[in-house]
Amino acid sequence: MKKAKTLGELKKSGYKSRSVKDELRENLIEKLQKKEEVFKGILGFENTVLPDVERAILSRHNVLLLGLRGQAKTKIARLLTTLLDEWMPIVGGSELNDDPLNPISKFALELVAEKGDKTPVEWVHRDDRYVEKLATPDVSIADLVGDVDPIKAATLKLPYSDERVIHFGLIPRSHRCLFVINELPDLQARIQVSLFNILQEGDMQIRGFKLRLPLDIQFLFTANPEDYTNRGSIITPLKDRIESQILTHYPKTIEIAKFITSQEAKLAENQKKNVHIPEALKTLMEYISFEARESELIDENSGVSARLSISGLENLASAAERRMHLNGEKSTVARITDFWGVIPAITGKVELVYEGEQEGAYGVAITLLNKAIKKLFLDHFDNPSNLRKEKKGADTYGTVRAYFAGGNTVDLLNDSSDKDFKKELDKVAGLKKLVADLKVDKKDAYLFKELIIFGLSEHEIVNKEILESKISFNDLLAGMLDDGDDLFKGF
């Protein structure tokens, strides 16, 4: 449609006014009929959250997305703009996005009355029809609704009783737009009360002025259930006025979680080109998040954000890249030892319960990593604990066990070159055959050799010592004796 420049041209074009909720509804219906993807980039919600959101839009409801941190609530809200018309006409110069065919502000009403069909028309892109406000305790009614502007009154030489002195807040300025309030429980109760009328009656009052603005807004709120007890709550009358409450959730499968992490992680082009991250390590990253959500050391009510995996993958690539540059290499493959660079991404993303606090954030991160490594190991190799019973005495790991029993040690330095890393693993008899039986990609072979040693240490077949810049593996009995010697030092 050609963009009209005046009200007269807009009328001739056949443009018809419709509410923002009808606009969303009709554009959604069109996408559903054409079988187009509505929420691009949102994974894992196809059969749960997204159908509920679509039903709410079809019902012309205001929406509350309720879920723990890192469950794509804000991303869903921002994608709703794709259901708006690409361009929307407004009265030229209007601060309230007045519909030229149905103006509501005094400015627009007077302009249309004065100029008629010559009233100027401007166009607003759908991306500019999204308004987002983070609810914080310091948000005031003036911020959301509006207040008298003394400077405007003085400049225009108007009394405070004249509505032209009003400075409109975010909500009136969101007329014919999407308005999102994140973390709604953080909004003070008296501020939440100011939303009653706009949600119920579709209009609002400012201070003592007689005007009642018939605003047209699609509201979407987000909230974290944890906030209800820790910081505030959504007052019952307001919650009652929000027609649809939709529960979000974390990814239910590792594969979906990996897709989300790969999609959201912001890796530099050089990292993508020069650092190979095997699929097994991407799985390991998600195992850490899944373990964290089930850990008794972490507050389940707080949740573990998807940002743990996203930040972790970014740190993993950076740890490998740093090592690569230190050793003057042009490319490298990420390793399990690189996960020691991921720990800062874990410690900052979890809320610990009392037992976790006693363990310490670093200790909890190591525990989660060890459990994830054990799980990944069992995905690819036999469980050493059940081996004798299942194999009737055969020991798949006998050669590796014998190597360490012979007094040999494997030292994996955090920053060792690829050449030294491979040389250290090649010393261990039996690893090559175990990996060959897996038939993995040649590029990933040494990762699986490393995984075997880590996995055996988690099953207490090999002893593991974490030192400042390396991880040392030796015979379990030798490690126990060394610990015993430490006990008698000083006597």
Domain interval for residue 393: 388-491
Mean pLDDT of 400-415: 93
Domain at 462, CATH number: 1.10.10
Q: 74, 42, 318, 305: which is closest to 182 by C-alpha? A: 74
204 and 102 housed in the same domain:
yes
The more confidently predicted of residues 348 and 342 is 342
Average pLDDT for the chain: 89
Residue pLDDT, tens place only, 343-355 = 999 998 999 999 9
Query: Virtual CA dihedral for 392, 393, 397, 400, nearest 10 degrees?
Result: -170
412 and 365 housed in the same domain: no
Residue 1 falls inside a structural domain: no
Ranges of H-type helices in 295-353: 307-326, 343-347
> Are 272 and 289 members of one domain?
yes
Same domain, 109 and 215: yes
The total of structural domains in the chain comes to: 3
Distance from C-alpha of 427 to C-alpha of 74, rounded to nearest angstrom:
51
Q: Are residues 205 and 282 in the same domain?
A: no
Bridge partner list, 122 = 90
- The rounded percent of the chain whose pLDDT value lies above 70 is 91
pLDDT digits 0-9 by tens, 27-68: 999 999 999 999 999 999 999 999 999 999 999 999 999 999
- Residues of the chain with pLDDT > 90, as a percent, come to 68
pLDDT in tens, 69-88: 899 999 999 999 999 999 99
Written as six digits, the tokens of 143 are: 């911020």
Q: Based on the fold, state whether residues 198 and 216 are members of the same structural domain.
A: yes
| Domain presence at residue 39 | yes
- In 126-240, the DSSP E strands lie at 130-134, 146-148, 166-168, 177-182, 217-223
pLDDT band at residue 198 using 50, 70 and 90 as cut-offs: confident
Q: Which of 196, 223, 247 is the endpoint of a domain?
A: 247
Give the pLDDT score at 227. Answer: 54
- Are 165 and 149 in contact by the 8 Å Cβ rule? The answer is yes
Q: Where does a domain end: 183, 217, 247?
A: 247
**Residue 258 clears pLDDT 80, i.e. is over it:** yes
> Does the residue 414 lie in any domain?
yes
- For residue 331, give the 3-state DSSP assignment: coil
Tell me the residue ranges of DSSP E strands in 165-290.
Answer: 166-168, 177-182, 217-223, 244-247, 275-276
Neighbours of 129 (CB within 10 A): 23
For 284-323, write each residue's pLDDT tens digit: 999 999 999 999 999 988 889 999 999 999 999 999 999 9
Same domain, 287 and 398: no
CATH number, domain containing residue 298: 1.10.8.80
**Coil vs helix vs strand at 478:** helix
Residue 145 forms part of a structural domain: yes
- Spatial separation of the C-alpha atoms in residues 262 and 313, rounded to whole Å: 8
In a domain, 308, yes or no: yes
User: Same structural domain for residues 68 and 108?
Assistant: yes
Instruction: Indicate if 282 and 398 belong to the same structural domain.
Output: no
Q: pLDDT value at position 487?
A: 35
Q: Is the pLDDT reported for residue 228 higher than 80?
A: no
Band of the pLDDT at 489, cuts 50, 70, 90?
very low
Residue 102 per-residue DSSP state = B
Question: Dmax of the chain from CA atoms?
Answer: 100
pLDDT for 316 equals: 97
Strand partners, 464: 473
Categorize the per-residue pLDDT at 208 as very low, low, confident or very high, splitting at 50, 70 and 90: low
Q: Whole-prediction pTM value?
A: 0.85
Q: Answer yes or no: do 359 and 396 share one domain.
A: no
Asked, for residue 2, whether it belongs to a domain, the answer is no
Would you say residue 483 lies in a domain? Answer: yes
CB of 112 closer than 8 Å to CB of 105:
no
Residue 193 has what pLDDT? Answer: 86
352, 399: one domain: no
Last residue of a domain, one of 186, 219, 247: 247
426 or 480: whose pLDDT is higher?
Answer: 426
The answer to whether residue 389 scores a pLDDT higher than 70 is no
Instruction: Tell which wins on pLDDT, 294 or 145.
Output: 294
* Residues 320 and 401 both lie in one domain: no
Residue 491 pLDDT exceeds 70: no
